[in-house]
Structure 1
Amino acid sequence: MTQVGEGQDTAESAPPVATFGAPTAGEILAERYELVEHINNDSAGRLVWRGVDVILRRPVAVVLRYPGGDSATEMLQAAVAASRVIHPNLVGVYDAIDEADRAYVVREWVDGQSLRELVAHGPLDPARATAIGNAVASAMAAVHATGMVHGNVHPGTVMISDDGRVVLADARTDGGDSQENDIRAIGGVLYFALTGHWPHAEVPLRGATAGHGRAAIGDAVRDASGTLAAPRQVRAGVPAYLDDLTMDLLDPAIEPPSSDVLAAELARLDIPGEEQFLEPTGPLRFAADTGEEPSPLAAAGGRKVAVGIAGVLTVALVAILVGISVWGGDEQQDPENTPAALPSASAPVAEDTTPPAAQVRKLDIAGARVIDPDSRDRLGLDGVEKAYDGDQDEGWATQTYRGAPNFGGYKRGMGVWIDLGTERTVKSVQVNLSAVGVSAQLLSGTIDAPSTNAGDDRIIKEYAKAPIGQPFEDHDGTTMTFNGFDADAKYRYLLFWITELPPTDGGFKVGVQEITVQGS
């Protein structure tokens, strides 16, 4: 199974590997990580082993390079950077060790396979392709929120665990990478999932040559002039709106959206497979102005055009008919069941009573207050409304604490408690801070309590039982994005809980400039 980046067997361009310092089964690295089985050598010449953390007794993947040198240093630097971003759709990095003659990275072991291996059995259905694209875009939004770039997004680095979790692995950023290339690579991932081909020849993505293990992936289908064929031209059953989105992301003439906007749009389109062709929200949103809030991607620019409402209904009906045919598994349509003609734009169309899918959007915060269970004087609790007023230039700030980053050593922490007014489906929470170096996490709960030390203590003890995603430790960015919400759950009360402050003049302090909640 693939456990690293490209994950393919060594390509012909892989550098020769020395024998000095070669790992052996049963060897224990750093007095902690036992090597169990050699899985493969990736196309960059690194050895991939399945191992066991003998202290925590958990499986790990060990990515090892020997001898050391500049390439090993780059691998370690990329691993250290990746370890700072914690997200459910990113492979966890546990350790990075340089032993001079060799170096290795220890990370989460994923029981599953890469997207490259999965699609080897055939292209994916549109619903599953959308779900994978959504997961990758959510991971990318977390990476980009820190100001970093992933730089190595392709079907070998997208991994699907046996329990269905999608994770992105093997960040390998350098000076030639950009966030735009990351986003266009997500378009490539969508294209590959839908067609089984990688459009690298026409898309300026780093690593499209054999040295990075992508050349082994079949090139996309093209016409005589070299123009990339759209997914709908390669296979039947791809919805028009998903086809348009994919091609827009690959079109260098169209400026791509930011990764968080793309993640929100794919989350909106990520609906159960059996509803994929019966839900009109997707095609209608791209095709015409329905009087609703416009799609973020439509606002960002694209190839979509507005048409009359009758024409839109015709397009929606075509999508329904095509969807029923494809999802029914009939390659040859039964002539007896084929409609003689579709209704014209002027023909009456039955009213569509299907309820629209909930759109992901910014949710209003009904109220907020500061949670400070260990306060000595209940000071510094005012002004929290500035943390969600839409103005990042102003926010709520802690007092200045001296002596230690953990609030002078006498507080468990402080936080901003959020009330959404009613139970809502929440997709993500983004928190903009005034400085780097903050440790914090997002919690959820169902109780409210008086704004007193005792009430605050009750809230933190109760909410600590329901963390959202992973905590940020000494975060090197000013934006934290939390995406680990249960899609089937409803949330009303959230708590952004700060445990360590960054240094400032004469002490430790941070400002919460803006909190943004996305959901429906």
Structure 2
Amino acid sequence: MPSSAGPSIGTITEGGRVTQVGEGQDADETTPPVMTFGAPTAGEILAERYELVEHINNDSAGRLVWRGVDVVLRRPVAVVMRYPGGTSATEMLQAAVAASRVIHPNLTGVYDAIDEADRAYVVREWVDGRSLRELVADGPLDGARATAVGSAVASALAAVHATGMVHGNVHPGTVMISDDGRVVLADARTDGDDSQESDVRAVGGLLYYALTGYWPHTEAPLRGATAGHGRAAIPDAVRDANGVVAAPRQVRAGVPAYLDDLTTDLLDGGIAPPSSDVLAAELARLDVPAEDDYLDNSGPLRFAAESGDEPSPLAAAGGRKVALGIAGVLVVALVGLLVGISALGGDDESPRTDPVAAPTSSAPVSEEPPPPARDLQISAARIIDPDSGNRSEVRDAEKVFDGDRDEGWSTETYNRSNFGNLKEGMGVWIDLGTERTVKSVQVHLSSTGASAQLLTGTIDAPSSSAGDRQVVDAYKPGVIGQPFEEHDGTTMTFNGFDADQKYRYLMFWITELPSNNGGFKLGVQEITVQGS
């Protein structure tokens, strides 16, 4: 393929199918020159492991994007290369290292980050599919699909934010939709100007773009998508004479009211946005199959300004804040109608009840937003080992929640990753002391390469082989989120919790051990639980 600067979403055709990798913005007239001296060639193997297959494109930062193959694990990879390495590649490498610590099904996996002085490169997951930018170029998405995309991105951000980090590069070019429907967020490039709040507001921008095909540039523009950035910039949103962005329903018919409200609330600088985990929980609740009813009795989450604040310009323009007030007026009218009907029926000999006085105010009562997530206290932990008569590995469970990641619990060394066929797995069971609303669980491990999942149940059996077997059998149906298979980081984040369910007992269940000094062994350094 040509190596000249072009769209940052590279495409190649394989058997009639388009293969792509998302790298953010389009290149423009200010694109840094790409160093071609000593540039790699197809067939070259980097770090004695990553074979370069085909040059895809150069992104807006002048980085070369290649499709490659990990010759050890025989899996496709994306290789993002920068000339030179050293200090000029520090930000790219640091962002990659930080991203590698967060493992989540809606984040692209980062496999390696290497600095060779004259060049530096990051090796990450290859995604077969299309970017959100390309997908919407064919036409805006319906409410169900837009909600699904927003839900996946918010879930990914919640995992990133739970570590204290910021993504800083959320826009239609970094959101990929794979051929199997998986939504993944790529290419974190945080700097000092980024914040978790800007990440959350960017989800509002994604929803707006998905629903309308326009990008709602805010007073604090989202990186990589501002007006004039690139010759093929995303069209700017429709605005009124005061520069206020039109609500999605004003741009396009058929946008669900709840999604219109949520999107415009997220973009309104006068309304404090929710945390990413609260937003993820709300979008997950709204992300239901198309044949189901989107609006249940609890209604969508709304984010209201503090009392006494000036009304938001978006609220004044769209009229979305008066909906509940109108509902209150209708309630008053209905009560008055019932009173009138009762008075007209005065000759009826049937017993009558005294009319109820109508409320004097139609102002809606603001619902308190859900409390922010915080670290929950673990009251107890123990090791679950149902297939071993030797209980030597069940000690030191208390070290997984003592706040010290340098010291934890560890398995013994086995001769195979699957515990040498001696057992189906081992687990770390934790007790929160009482039933709690759980947002996420992070498990910090001693090394990469393990496979595990998070389970939940309701029983607390005795600590014995028989009791452990009872726990495993009872907890297996209660899987939280997706399992991690041979993951490439040392932190696993599980956030597939039901917002309407309470949890007390959880179990981190290990099925595959990573390689360790000629054997196979894994340490669980710390488990942290967030919720309310």
| TM-score normalized with structure 2 length | 0.68
Q: Distance in 2 between matches of 1:378 and 1:212?
A: 57
Structure 1 residue aligned with 2:429:
416
Determine if contact 1:380/1:399 at 8 Å carries over to the other structure: no
For residue 370 of structure 1, what is the amino acid of its counterpart? R
SS of residue paired to 2:246: coil
Partner of 2:144: 127
CA contact (8 A) 1:43 1:212 kept: no
CA distance in 2, matches of 1:49, 1:28: 12
Structure 2 counterpart of 1:92: 109
2:480 matched to 1:483?
A: no
Summarize the Cα distance change of 1:162–1:222 in structure 2 as closer, same or farther, 3 Å threshold. Answer: same
| Conserved? CA contact 2:429–2:505, under 8 Å | no
Within 5 Å, give how 1:19-58 maps onto structure 2: 19-58=36-75
Superposed displacement of residue 447, structure 1: 9.8
Equivalent runs, 1:439-478 vs 2, <5 Å: 442-444=453-455, 450-455=461-466, 458=469, 468-470=482-484
Conserved in 1, the CA contact under 8 Å of 2:110 and 2:125?
A: yes
Choose the corresponding residue for 1:430, options 428, 434, 440: 440
Aligned residue identity for 1:4: G
Q: Structure 2 unaligned runs (5+)?
A: 1-10, 12-19, 316-320, 339-369, 415-424, 515-522
In the alignment, is the contact (CA less than 8 A) between 1:6 and 1:214 conserved in 2? no
| Selected match of 1:371 from 379, 383, 402 | 383
Specify the code of the residue in structure 2 equivalent to 1:179: Q
Report Cα offsets for 1:343-401 as digits up to 9, x if no partner.
999889xxxxxxxxxxx999x99x9863354755977789xxxxxxxxxxxx9946999
SS at match of 1:113: strand
Aligned length: 436
| Partner amino acid, structure 1, of 2:192 | G
Alignment-mate amino acid for residue 253 of structure 2: A
1:285 to 299, 304, 311: 299
Instruction: Specify the SS of the correspondent of 2:22.
Output: coil
1:288-299 alignment, distance < 5 Å? 295=301, 297=303
> Contact between 1:43 and 1:211, CA under 8 Å: does it hold in 2?
no
Task: State the distance in 2 between where 1:310 and 1:14 align.
Answer: 55
In the alignment, the residues of structure 1 paired with residue 247 and residue 403 of structure 2 have an alpha-carbon distance, to the nearest angstrom, of 56
Match for residue 73 of structure 1 among 70, 90, 97: 90
Match of 1:496 among 490, 508, 524: 508
CA displacement at 1:216 relative to structure 2? 1.4
Aligned partner (choices 118, 132, 142) of residue 115 of structure 1 = 132
TM-aligned CA distance change 1:259 to 1:485, over 3 Å:
closer
Report the TM-score, using the length of structure 1 for normalisation: 0.69
Distance 1:202 1:97, change over 3 A: same
Q: Distance in 2 between matches of 1:377 and 1:194?
A: 53
Instruction: Give the 3-state SS of the residue equivalent to 2:273 in structure 1.
Output: coil
Q: CA deviation at 1:252?
A: 1.3
> Shift of residue 55 of structure 1?
1.3
Fraction of identical pairs, as percent: 60
Q: Does 1:155 align with 2:172?
A: yes
Query: Does structure 1 residue 4 correspond to structure 2 residue 22?
Result: yes
Partner of 2:233: 216
Is this contact kept in 2: 1:371–1:451, CA < 8 A?
no
Separation in 2, partners of 1:226, 1:377: 65
Q: Secondary structure at the match of 2:200?
A: helix
Q: How does 1:330-341 map to 2 (within 5 A)?
A: none
Whole-Å Cα distance in 1 between the matches of residues 121 and 431 of structure 2? 42
| Alpha-carbon distance in 1 for matches of 2:437, 2:74 | 33
* 1:394-409 alignment runs, 5 A limit: 397=401, 405-407=408-410
Counterpart for residue 189 of structure 1: 206
Cα gap change, 1:344 to 1:116, in 2 (>3 Å): farther
1:247 to 264, 274, 278: 264
Q: Distance between the aligned counterparts of 1:432 and 1:312, measured in 2?
A: 47
Q: Which residue of 1 aligns with 2:197?
A: 180
Task: Please name the residue that 1:272 is paired with.
Answer: 289
Aligned to 1:321: none
* Cα 1:396/1:55, change in 2 over 3 Å: closer
For residues 111 and 510 of structure 1, the distance between their equivalents in structure 2, rounded to whole angstroms, comes to 35
Deviations 1:191-237 (A, max 9, x none): 10011111125443344458976971111111233221111111001
Unpaired runs of at least 5, structure 1: 287-294, 314-342, 349-359, 383-394, 501-507
Query: Offset of 1:246 from its aligned partner?
Result: 0.9
Q: Which amino acid aligns with 1:458?
A: R
State whether structure 2 residue 79 is matched by structure 1 residue 62: yes
User: Relative to 1, partners in 2 of residues 1:19 and 1:268: Cα closer, same or farther, differing over 3 Å?
Assistant: same
Q: 2:106–2:155: 8 Å Cα contact kept in structure 1?
A: yes
Residues in 1 aligned to 2:270 and 2:305: alpha-carbon distance in whole angstroms: 16
Contact 2:208/2:214, CA 8 A, preserved across alignment: yes
| Secondary structure of 1:172's aligned partner | coil
Paired AA for residue 494 in structure 2: F
Asked whether the 8 Å contact 1:371–1:416 carries over to 2, the reply is yes
CA RMSD of aligned residues (A): 4.7
